[in-house]
Amino acid sequence: MPAWVCGLAFISANLGAQEVIGMGASGAKYGIATSHFYWIGAIPAMVFVGIFMMPFYYGSKARSVPEYLRFRFDEKTRALNAIAFATMTLFSSGISMYAMARLIQSLHLLDGVFARFGLPQTMIFHVSVVASAGIVLAYVFLGGLTSAIYNEVLQFFLIVAGFFPLVWLGLRNVGGWPGIVQKLPHAYTHAWEGLRSAQTNPLGVEWFGLVMGLGFVLSFGYWCTDFLVVQRAMAADSMGAARRTPLIAAIPKMLFPFLVILPGLIAISLPVQNSAKNMFGQTLSPAAIEQQKYSKGLIPIKVDESTGNPVFDHDGRPVLDYDLAIPNLLLYYFPTGLLGLGITALLASFMSGMAGNVTAFNTVFTYDIYQSYIRSGATDAHYLWVGRMTTVFGVVLSIVTAYMATRFNNIMDMLQLVFAFVNAPLFATFLLGMFWKRTTGHAAFTGLLTGTLAAALHQGMTIPAGAVPGLKGGWIAILHTYPSEMAQNFWTAIWAWSACFVITILVSLVTKPHPEKDLVGLVYSLTPKPDDSETIWYKRPAVLACAVLAMVVALNLIFR
């Protein structure tokens, strides 16, 4: 497969509805600082994957990330990672499913149908969850990796086609970027200025937590070790193309904030909608009109799915439903015609996001768990059957995680929490495993366990401001309160990574290392360096990497 196709699939695999809806939500909640998820939280890690890590993945001939761990360490490390990764894909697909159901609900796609059959409108969310699960199930049954990649490329273009006119109309309406700067508080339009202290920016985190937690641990953890994205680069047709894949992907990736974060900012720059009718011309109930006073721009207050009442936090402040930023903006600007394209773009991103996760779950469970530990040596037909059953099982479990997502008012917060538990410690294991040949299997295993445990302990003993102890933390004791969920997630990731890093080093020093001849192609110092001198200059990974990094520094300076 050519590098540009893999490159677009590489970013599309991560551009599910969770990304699109979640980034719009974060744009409205945290402001332009959300672009750190791209400019600090993705680009440097993508460059690192292309330059340093792809030679191992592509060169070791491992078919999955857990399999690389088996080559480099041992079976138990692989099993642990396979289980953790499988759990994470279920959360990701559940979050996509939740996003889909919210979308159907907020766009009132099914209101007419439900009214005709006399069903209560509160059922729409539940029916949407089950219906979307059914569609994805059918979709995954039919697709393989190649078709998934082709689909992701198509969907990439659809998202651009659907969102570009939205941003263009929005910017024209609010007076361009200067108009947004004028209308919003200073901290929402400057990504770096408020970062000296956690109190002076909407993200609630200071520069160290951001650079270390997001820029280093979470970002490198995701882009370097997440099988879902790494799989796309491994499908390239040569080592050179595999290394170029993340670097090519970095260019559209760094421009995505303009497509997905700006709509969130535009949504809070607009005046609050005070009218007796909604955007479809339907008359609102007195309760719904009353609730408009809590809105911020186009963002309404969150309404409890089961009771229909508005939600307030622990301190009595209204909880805003930021996930509606992009859907509401679509309805606000798009006429019949273009609105269809916008909704198609959102539904397409949901489909590929969820299908990608369910297929990855399927691969890792069938190949790295079932075939390795439960039943090896069976026929291909048997594994195919198990794979299908795994898909059904995975979709059912995703429904459970979709309901857990209803507890968060920004799905990005939940996603980063899951990453902090799984990817953050794994990145420490990879870093040591790839660059320090002394690292042992026992150490990697102990380190991973300790890292995840450290994440759980940190999450259990801290809480974001205004939250009730439980899913969002504080279930052991409350020793520290963070200004936002995101700040808590960053620090959870930092603790998890550090614990894994230190424990892996300590245990390595007291256990017996692998003989060096077994580590050729798996550890940096024992692997021949790829030779780029034959490649034409603009295709050399190092040249691409420098260009990408220069562009990202420029963007950070412009929006500082």
Partner 1 sequence: MRMDIRIPIGSMFAVLGLLLAGYGALGPHDIYEKSLGLNVNLGWGVVLLVFGAIMLYLGWRTPSADKSSTASH
Q: Which residues sit at the interface with partner 1, rule CB under 8 A?
A: 1-3, 5, 150, 153-154, 157, 161, 165, 169, 172-173, 237-238, 240-241, 332-338, 341
For residue 172, the minimal CB distance to partner 1 (Å) is 6
282/336 with CB nearer partner 1:
336
Distance of closest approach, residue 506 Cβ to partner 1, in angstroms: 45
Structure tokens at 18: 């969770």
Measured from the CB of residue 128, what is the shortest distance to partner 1 in angstroms?
Answer: 25
- 60: nearest Cα among 460, 531, 422, 527: 527
The one-letter code for the residue type at 514 is H
C-alpha 39/C-alpha 108 separation (Å) is 35
Buried b (16+ CB within 10 A) or exposed e, 109-120: ebeeebeeeeee
Residues 6+ apart with CB under 8 A from 221: 419, 423, 424, 426, 427, 493, 497
Rounded least distance, CB 173 to partner 1, Å: 6
CA pair distance 54, 57, nearest whole angstrom: 5
We find the least distance from the C-beta atom of residue 256 to partner 1, in angstroms, to be 18
Burial of 275 (0-12, 13-18, 19+ CB in 10 A): exposed
**CA 320 – CA 300 distance, rounded (Å):** 6
Q: How far is the CB of 333 from partner 1 (least distance, A)?
A: 6
* 149 Cβ neighbours under 8 A, 6+ residues apart: 1, 5, 6, 9, 232, 235
For residue 23, how many other CB atoms are within 10 A of its CB? 27
In this complex, which beta carbon is closest to partner 1, that of residue 149 or of residue 360?
149
Nearer to partner 1, 336 or 533 (CB): 336
Query: Which of 380/534 has CB closer to partner 1?
Result: 534
Count of CA atoms in the C-beta half-sphere (13 A) of 264: 30
3-state secondary structure of 261: coil
CB 338, min distance to partner 1, A: 5
Please state the closest distance from residue 154 (CB atom) to partner 1, in A: 6
Choice between 237 and 304, CB closer to partner 1: 237
Would you say 316 or 337 has its CB closer to partner 1? Answer: 337
Strand partners, 482: 464
Bridge partner residues of 481 (DSSP): 463
State the CB neighbour count (10 A cutoff) for residue 165.
14
Considering beta carbons, is residue 134 or 175 the nearer one to partner 1?
175
Q: What is the dihedral of CA 275, 279, 284, 289, to 10 degrees?
A: -40
Q: Which two tokens stand for residue 384?
A: 């195919």
Nearer to partner 1, 3 or 299 (CB): 3
Q: Which residue has the tokens 């300076």?
A: 557
Asked whether the beta carbons of 142 and 326 are under 8 A apart, the reply is: no
Nearer to partner 1, 335 or 515 (CB): 335
Q: How far is the CB of 200 from partner 1 (least distance, A)?
A: 35
Least distance in Å: CB of 241 to partner 1?
Answer: 8
Residue (334 or 482) nearer to partner 1, CB: 334
